[in-house]
Amino acid sequence: MIAFVRGNFIDKSPARVIVDVNGVGYDLHISLNTYSFITNKDSGLLYTYLHLFENGQTMYGFAEVAEKEMFLQLISVSGVGAATARMMLSGMKPEEITRAIVQGNTKLLESIKGIGKKSAERIIVELRDKLGKQALENPLGGVSMASTDNDAITALVSLGIARPMAENAVKKVMQTNPNIALEDIIKQALKNL
């Protein structure tokens, strides 16, 4: 999987950007948020997600990790495809989507083109607990800490620890020291198991 691309922005539009990485051009679909971020830049780094489907593949680019993480959360909801998730991220910032989901604000989600009442309700039902837990653990609203938590949990699970145990261990570490580095979270969590 390609995690990110760094290179020159050859051609930019509100929906796509071509990034030249050492002579290879990557055609990335982007949101309006990402476009706003790169509009005045000639080069940079974009986080990527490769979406494979029956008849082809599409690569999506994101200016921030938080936007990529929200995209992945949204496409995990049944009935929400990559194009819809990109449309949502074009209409709202990741933290605004999180707030709308946690607060159960279907009207705000419905204001995004392509999201009807049933889709908005499904997104809230499937993501409210997950995003609400992250918001409680990180009351300042920064997504980076939630991403660090998730990275630590993923690392522990890859070491063979059951996900619920990994989540509890990371939660305990974060409660005692909220500004701890990822490596230290993993070490402390392993000691607490």
Q: What is the pLDDT of residues 64-115, one digit of tens each?
A: 999 999 999 999 999 899 999 999 999 899 999 998 998 899 999 998 888 8
Does residue 142 carry a pLDDT above 50? no
Q: Which pTM value belongs to this model?
A: 0.69
More confident residue, 133 or 35: 35
- Final residue before a domain boundary, out of 62, 78, 99: 62
Mean pLDDT, residues 20-33: 96
Mean pLDDT, residues 123-129: 91
**What is the CA angle 143-171-131, rounded to 5?**
40
Does residue 179 carry a pLDDT above 80? no
Question: Does residue 80 share a domain with residue 51?
Answer: no
Question: Does residue 127 share a domain with residue 73?
Answer: yes
The dihedral through the CA atoms of 83, 84, 90, 94 has a sign that is negative
Question: Does residue 129 share a domain with residue 73?
Answer: yes
Q: d(Cα 30, Cα 62) in Å, to the nearest integer?
A: 6
Q: What is the CATH number of the domain that holds 8?
A: 2.40.50.140
Number of domains in the chain: 3
Question: Does residue 50 share a domain with residue 74?
Answer: no
Q: What percent of the chain stands above pLDDT 90? A: 55
Place of tokens 């020291």: 177
Does residue 7 carry a pLDDT above 80? yes
Question: Does residue 147 share a domain with residue 130?
Answer: no
What value does the mean pLDDT of the chain take? Answer: 87
Q: Domain of residue 51: give its range.
A: 4-62
Question: Does residue 101 share a domain with residue 81?
Answer: yes
Question: Does residue 159 share a domain with residue 97?
Answer: no
Question: Does residue 106 share a domain with residue 126?
Answer: yes
Question: Does residue 121 share a domain with residue 58?
Answer: no
